[in-house]
Every structure is written in structure tokens, then in C-alpha cells.
Amino acid sequence: MPNRDIRDDAAMCIFTGLDLRSIALLFDVDGTLIDIGPSPFEVDVSDALKESLERLFELTGGAMALVSGRPIRDIDRIFAPLELPAIGGHGAEMRVAAGPPVARIDPLPQELRRNLVAAATPDSGVLFEDKGYSVALHYRAAPRQAERLRRHIAENRAAFPGERTELLLGKAMFEVKRPGIDKGEAVRELMTRRPFAGRTPVFVGDDVTDESVFRVLPELRGKGFAVGRHFANVAGIFASPGEVRQALRQLAANAAAHS
């Protein structure tokens, strides 16, 4: 159910009135476009959502991108057959146009990744994603594992003192990654590339991992919308991914009607 205490009724009006000829649309994925699933591997992406994204991609002249913690290969899998511009791994990789993504950082050592993944034992309820440039440990199904995972991660980071890493906190998730990589820096770079350059970025996100994008929006003269929680200086707040999907359909319809 949408969180009516969080929703800002102005969000739908402002968002659906945007001029697609002058903006770039940037969307987080999990918790923003799609509902959080039982695991990162169990999510639903409807045909209606894909149709909305495809239409908005056309109406913006290609200035639309997905900005996710997921690897781009995973984004492509769940949104197939679409292959949209994307920022993956919280900024570790980027694809602006058709073709393979471009890595922006070096991978973590294989031994460190293997040691971190070892926390996801079959009986623990913990799931892992080895992205190469980072390792994410998900404990949605096992919240009591959080403290054990914190200790496990701290021990393994300490065992590799020569490797610069940092811990990223998400929704029931810990991710060990290279420092200095975040969605905000990647969005700043994306907005220098065609067809994004010269447009006003409009970002929609829901999690603490999206805070870095909200922070850079003012310098880019951009506009931010949150989902399900408050962030500073956003233009509006949607209650749920379902309301975001509704807004996408309405925005596409409004733009088509005035084209």
C-alpha cells in the first residue's frame, strides 16, 4: 500500500508537467521504478513499465538513464529487451549509448571478494552479489544476521590493508566497494555527454545510496523527486514505486498529446 503519510500530492502534478524536450530523466531502479522483491533476484518488471520507459526514451531524444546499484548486465536482464543508457554499480560503470558498458574502476581482488561472499552460507538467509568491482551482502530475509555481517566485513577489510575500500549501506544490504565512486559523481559525468548535455537532470530515487545524486542536483540546476521518504530540497515525494509508474504513464501521455 502507498504510504499516504509520506506522499506529497504536488509530486504527481509537477512531474507530469515536465517538458521532455529540455530535461534528462534519471531513475533509480529498486524501490523507485520497481517494488523491492524478496531478493534482488526476485523482482517484477511489468510490460507496462517497459512500454512507458521506451516511450519516454523516444520523447526525450534518448536523454533517459537508469541509475542503479545493480550491474548494467543485471539491469539489461530485468528490463529486456530494452537496453537503455545506464549507470551501474553505484557509478562503477556507465553506458551512454548502444554498446557494452564502460568500467570506471578496477575490480576488487578475487580473494577479498571470495572471503566476503563466504558469509552467505546456505543456512544463513544471506544472499550475495559479486559484481567484480564490489560485493553486496543482502539480509532482507535474515535481519538478525546484520551484526554478524558487520563483523565479517570489518575483519576482511582489515585483512587487506593495501586495498582501499569503503562500506556502503543500503536497504538490508551491506556493500564493499572502491572509495570515491558514487551515483552523484557518475551523474555529473553523464550530464556532460550527448544527448544529456545541456538538459536539466530530473532524478527520482528512494534510498540512502541515492543521496549523492540529490546532493549534486543543485549545481546541475536539476530537480529531484523522492519515493517513500524525505530528502532535502526535493521537488516532490511519491509514496511508492506504483505511483512513480503511474506518473511515467501520465508524463508520456501528456507529452504525446502536445507533440
For the stretch 41-73, pLDDT in tens is: 667 789 999 999 999 999 999 999 999 988 899
Can 28 be counted among the known catalytic residues? yes
Q: What is the sign of the dihedral through the CA atoms of 22, 27, 98 and 43?
A: negative
Active-site pick, 9, 19, 28, 30: 28
Decide if pLDDT at 4 tops 60: no
Quick check: 74 and 80 in contact, CB under 8 A? no
Encode pLDDT of 118-127 as tens digits: 999 988 999 9
By mean pLDDT, which of 34-48, 80-94, 172-186, 221-235 is the weakest? Answer: 34-48
Alpha-carbon distance of 180 to 212, in angstroms, equals: 11
pLDDT at 1 over 50: no
d(CA 188, CA 219) in angstroms, rounded, equals: 9
DSSP reduced 3-state for 65: strand
Cα 213 to Cα 225: distance, rounded to the nearest angstrom? 11
Residue 101 has pLDDT above 80, yes or no: no
Task: Specify the range with the lowest mean pLDDT, choosing from 14-18, 33-37, 119-123.
Answer: 33-37
Q: What confidence score (pLDDT) does residue 40 get?
A: 66
Longest Cα pair distance anywhere in the chain, in angstroms? 59
Predicted confidence at residue 2, as pLDDT, reads 43
Best CA proximity match to 101, nearest among 70, 80, 58: 70
For residue range 163-198, list pLDDT tens digits in order.
Answer: 889 898 888 889 998 887 889 999 999 999 999 999
